[in-house]
């Protein structure tokens, strides 16, 4: 019984964090432990001799349904997720679609050399990093602030309405959002009208046609679309905080800000950490949807991102090898980022996702 309580205590430790593979296993292993131990939890195995390891073929036959139910998807995963990695070989070839693999001409790192000597590439990388970092900072802080403020609301009806409405944009496609945003930001759109009315500007601004506005527009649209949705996790984590802590703090005379600072934020710290690591890992894979839909020919110097660059070079004009080199650069940097950030956090903050 000692181990049991210790175990459940350690699972409580990790309340309010994204399920990591390890935690999931921990949980299942714990279940397995209960199943195979002699604890009277499991009547059906009580009294039976301890299980001996069985031969592979016997388990295969015994668990044939489990294999039948998982094997097709393992194959599926292999084809759709792992085979594209094999496609990375194209980056080292002068890939010609008509030829078979053995007939392709190998060119070593030529495609990468070309990539790193391409001025356009650095522009694209700058744009990708700029929008990623902006998205990381704001897309990360705003949902936390929103969740905390929402949690502090007293009126239950207003709270529920605000929360429900805040998810709404998440369910709408980027196509629709891009349409809405360009409608709002057009010359006679509501934003320009408001700014003129408030005498902040004298003349309407052509937001969508100015490259310098583009990063801000993308970040703002992202915040508008995803804040409510991303706040769900934090709200759930806040709900898990012991209410007595707040009462104790109130008795000690702590105001609302003190309570937020000393109870709420520490209470969701591990959730924040885990989500932060994950978003850093996906820093370069910010996608291209918003950039492609909100961008136009006037702002390409600011809107072109790595994935779009790969699309334009790799697929539209069929430079498959060059496009693959771009995609590969993107993926490799993402994985390196993820592992190093995860490692750093593991070392200094004792939080990790792997």
Partner 1 sequence: MASSSKAFNATKGERTFDVINYILLGLVLVVTLYPFLNVLAISLNDSTDTVRGGIYIWPREFTLENYKTIFGYTSLVQGFKISILRTVIGTLLGLISSSMLAYTLSRPDFRSRRFVSVFLAMTMYFSGGMVPVYILMRDLHLLGTFGIYVLPGMVSAFNVFVIRSFIDGLPYALQESAKLDGANDFVIYYKIILPLCKPVLATIALFLAVGQWNSWFDTYLYNGNKPSLTTLQYELMKILDSTNQGSAMTNANDLANQMANVSPESIKMAITIVVTLPILIVYPFLQKYFVGGMTLGAVKA
Which residues in 185-244 contact partner 1 (CB under 8 A)? 188, 190, 208, 224, 227-228, 232-233, 236-237, 240
Site string for partner 1, 82-101 (x = CB under 8 A): xxxxxxx-x------x----
* Site for partner 1 contains 106 (CB under 8 A): no
Which residues in 26-55 contact partner 1 (CB under 8 A)? 27-29, 31-32, 35, 42, 44
Taking CB under 8 A as the criterion, the residue among 137, 141, 172, 201 binding partner 1 is 172
Rg of the chain over Cα atoms, rounded to whole angstroms, equals 26
The residue (of 19 and 216) whose beta carbon lies closer to partner 1 is: 19
Output the CA torsion sign for 286, 289, 294, 299. positive
Distance CA 222, CA 218 (A): 6
CA proximity to 225, closest of 352, 138, 298: 138
* Site for partner 1 contains 70 (CB under 8 A): yes
Residue 281: HSE in the Cβ half-sphere, 13 Å Cα cutoff: 18
Taking CB under 8 A as the criterion, the residue among 23, 110, 118, 301 binding partner 1 is 23
Distance CA 37, CA 32 (A): 8
- Neighbour count for residue 221 (Cβ, 10 Å): 22
- Pair of tokens at residue 131: 């929008």
Taking CB under 8 A as the criterion, the residue among 168, 248, 336, 344 binding partner 1 is 168
The residue (of 210 and 256) whose beta carbon lies closer to partner 1 is: 256
The residue (of 85 and 141) whose beta carbon lies closer to partner 1 is: 85
Which residues in 321-350 contact partner 1 (CB under 8 A)? 323-324, 326-328, 330-331, 334-335, 338
CA proximity to 288, closest of 326, 235, 341: 326
Taking CB under 8 A as the criterion, the residue among 61, 137, 153, 201 binding partner 1 is 153
The residue (of 131 and 277) whose beta carbon lies closer to partner 1 is: 277
Q: Which residues, listed in sequence order, are joined to residue 105 by a DSSP beta bridge? A: 94
The residue (of 129 and 186) whose beta carbon lies closer to partner 1 is: 186
Which residues in 281-310 contact partner 1 (CB under 8 A)? 281, 285, 289, 292-293, 296-297, 307, 310
* Site for partner 1 contains 61 (CB under 8 A): no
* Site for partner 1 contains 245 (CB under 8 A): no
Taking CB under 8 A as the criterion, the residue among 21, 202, 203, 244 binding partner 1 is 21
Which residues in 254-283 contact partner 1 (CB under 8 A)? 255-257, 271, 281
Strand residue runs (E) in 73-112: 93-94, 105-106
Q: In which region does residue 53 sit, left (phi positive, over 0), alpha (psi from -120 to 50) or beta (all else)?
A: beta
Residues whose CB falls within 8 Å of the CB of residue 119, separated by 6 or more in sequence, listed in order: none
Query: Minimum distance from CB of 78 to partner 1 (Å)?
Result: 8
Distance CA 304, CA 66 (A): 46
Quick one: which H or E segment has residue 177? helix 174-184
Interface stretch with partner 1, choices 111-119, 131-139, 179-187, 343-351 (CB under 8 A): 179-187
- Pair of tokens at residue 197: 């009315």
CA angle 174, 179, 182 (to 5 degrees): 120
């Amino acid at each position: 019984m000692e181990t049991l309580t210790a175990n459940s205590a350690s699972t409580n430790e990790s309340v309010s964090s994204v399920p990591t593979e390890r935690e999931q296993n921990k949980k299942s292993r714990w279940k397995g432990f209960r199943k195979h131990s002699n604890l009277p939890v499991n009547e059906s195995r009580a009294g039976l001799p301890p299980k001996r390891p069985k031969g592979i073929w016997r388990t295969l036959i015994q668990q044939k349904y489990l294999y039948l139910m998982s094997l097709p998807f393992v194959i599926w995963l292999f084809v759709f997720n792992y085979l594209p990695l094999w496609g990375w070989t194209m980056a080292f070839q002068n890939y010609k679609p008509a030829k078979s693999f053995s007939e392709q001409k190998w060119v070593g790192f030529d495609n990468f050399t070309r990539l790193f000597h391409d001025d356009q590439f650095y522009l694209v990388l700058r744009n990708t990093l700029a929008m990623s970092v902006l998205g990381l900072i704001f897309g990360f802080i705003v949902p936390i602030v929103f969740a905390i403020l929402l949690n502090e609301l007293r009126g239950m009806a207003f709270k529920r309405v605000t929360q429900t409405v805040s998810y709404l944009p998440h369910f709408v496609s980027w196509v629709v959002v891009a349409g809405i945003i360009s409608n709002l930001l057009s010359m006679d759109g509501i934003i320009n009208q408001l700014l003129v009315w408030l005498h902040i500007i004298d003349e309407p601004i052509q937001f969508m046609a100015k490259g310098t506005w583009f990063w801000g527009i993308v970040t703002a649209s992202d915040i508008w679309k995803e804040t409510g949705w991303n706040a769900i996790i934090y709200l759930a984590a806040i709900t898990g905080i012991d209410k007595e802590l707040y009462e104790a703090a109130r008795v000690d005379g702590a105001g609302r800000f003190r309570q937020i600072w000393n109870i709420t934020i520490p209470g969701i710290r591990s959730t924040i950490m885990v989500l932060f690591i994950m978003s850093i890992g996906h820093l370069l894979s910010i996608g291209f949807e918003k950039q492609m839909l909100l961008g136009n020919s006037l702002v390409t110097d600011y809107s072109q991102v790595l994935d779009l660059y790969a699309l334009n070079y790799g697929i539209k004009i069929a430079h498959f090898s060059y496009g693959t080199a771009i995609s590969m650069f993107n993926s490799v940097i993402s994985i390196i980022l993820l592992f190093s950030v995860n490692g750093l956090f593991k070392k200094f903050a004792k939080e990790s996702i792997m």
